[in-house]
């Protein structure tokens, strides 16, 4: 439920980012050439603009998911998250509030948060490398 709330509040930033990206692409020479050739709008959008605008959006989305995970863990750690649902932030809070500090109570939820956020960032970078038409595949060897 917390992730749904974070997603609902963050969609406007992505909408603005997509709009700005497509406004930037609209001014590019290859789009202007497609318009000058008389291609239909559907072809310009799906064959020219969407492949070039998708890669930055994928990277921003992967970073957004990672930041949403961190936001949920932070809110749960501070006691502002959902009470009945288990969370890595609540586990970290319980480790800090215990009478004797046991390192394994903090390391495993913290490590899970780190590995999850790190894997989403790697996923976004690999998607960018796979989808970005500006990446020269011969230089990445």
Domain-located, residue 38 = yes
Provide the residue range defining the domain that includes 19: 2-131
Look at residue 64 and tell me whether its pLDDT is greater than 90: no
Q: What is the pLDDT of residues 27-57, one digit of tens each?
A: 999 999 999 999 999 999 999 888 888 878 8
Q: Is residue 64 part of a domain?
A: yes
- Give ∠ CA 52-55-56 in degrees, rounded to 5: 100
| Positive/negative CA dihedral, 139, 56, 130, 29 | negative
| 141 in a structural domain | no
Residue 138 placed within a domain = no
Residue 25 inside a domain? The answer is yes
Does 28 map to a domain? yes
What pTM did the predictor assign? 0.74
Over residues 78-94, the mean pLDDT reads 86
Q: What pLDDT does 107 receive? A: 92
In 3D space, the residue among 106, 118, 80, 119 whose CA is nearest the CA of residue 2 turns out to be: 80
Instruction: Provide the CATH number for the domain around residue 36.
Output: 1.10.3720.10
- DSSP one-letter code for 21: H
Q: How many domains does the chain have?
A: 1
Query: Are the beta carbons of 17 and 57 closer than 8 angstroms?
Result: yes
Q: Is residue 72 part of a domain?
A: yes
- How many whole angstroms separate alpha carbon 54 and alpha carbon 131? 8
């Amino acid at each position: 439920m917390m992730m749904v709330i974070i997603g609902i509040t963050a969609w406007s930033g992505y909408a603005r980012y997509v709009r700005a990206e497509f406004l930037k692409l609209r001014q590019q020479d290859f789009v202007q050439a497609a318009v000058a050739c008389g291609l239909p709008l559907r072809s310009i959008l799906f064959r020219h603009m969407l492949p070039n605008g998708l890669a930055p959006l994928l990277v921003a989305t992967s970073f957004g998911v990672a930041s949403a995970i961190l936001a949920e863990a932070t809110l749960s750690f501070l006691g502002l998250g959902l009470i009945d649902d288990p969370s890595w932030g609540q586990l970290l809070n319980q480790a800090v509030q215990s009478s004797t500090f046991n390192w394994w109570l903090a390391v495993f939820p913290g490590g899970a948060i780190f590995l999850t956020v790190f894997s989403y960032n790697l996923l976004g970078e690999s998607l960018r490398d796979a989808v970005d038409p500006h990446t020269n595949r011969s230089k990445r060897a």
